[in-house]
A = this chain, B = another copy of it.
């Protein structure tokens, strides 16, 4: 019989697309086998198990998003960089909800350290160079920005903002304005 030409990479890619279509939780080896018109057991030659597949999708998403973020912040500074980075996160979540969810798949410690995840915090820290923050405050600000970006993207995807009147795009713009103002006037501890 003809071979399907599977590789871990093709499975990961197809898994990522499937995640965007039906949700990360619904990504199953069975569904993937159907997609490639192959028996499920055959997939085990390429990935060790379902957890491994999900890990690979998570790593793919982390890297894709880190690449986009790096592109976005290159040559920008201050609010310009802040807005660019924020938009990259939000847009990625909306274009690729499955991959975005995959990024928050629990990775074991060493995998996480070797992942593109570390580039994300580095880039957030980088845009803070355009603001005047002391070292420890930079860390707090990195965490705050991460919280806002992730929180907004998640709640927006969940439809939490879809009912009430001002559309979420406007809230997003104003949120970025607010964050810029906040970083320019970062308060001292009380």
Chain B residues with Cβ below 8 Å from A182 are 178, 181-182
Which listed residue, B140, B155, B173, touches A170 by the CB 8 Å rule? Answer: B140
A10 at the interface (CB under 8 A from B): no
Q: How many copies does the complex hold?
A: 2
Question: Nearest Cβ in chain B — how far from A109, in angstroms?
Answer: 9
CA distance A152 to B149 in the complex (A): 10
A106-B158, A151-B149, A155-B143 known; A178-B171 Cβ under 8 A: no
A151 is contacted by which of B25, B147, B180, B185 (Cβ under 8 Å)? Answer: B147
A110 in contact (CB, < 8 A): no
Contact mask A142-167 → B, CB, 8 Å, 1/0? Answer: 01101111111011001011001110
A174 at the interface (CB under 8 A from B): yes
Complex Cα distance A145/B20, Å? Answer: 28
Q: Which residues of B contact A87 (CB under 8 A)?
A: none
What are some 19 contacts across the A-B interface (CB < 8 A)?
Answer: A137-B174, A139-B166, A140-B171, A140-B174, A140-B175, A143-B161, A143-B168, A144-B171, A144-B174, A146-B155, A149-B151, A150-B154, A150-B155, A151-B151, A151-B154, A174-B189, A178-B186, A181-B187, A185-B185
Residues of A within 8 A of B (CB): 25, 104, 106, 136-137, 139-140, 143-144, 146-152, 154-155, 158, 160-161, 164-166, 168, 170-171, 173-175, 177-178, 180-182, 185-187, 189-190
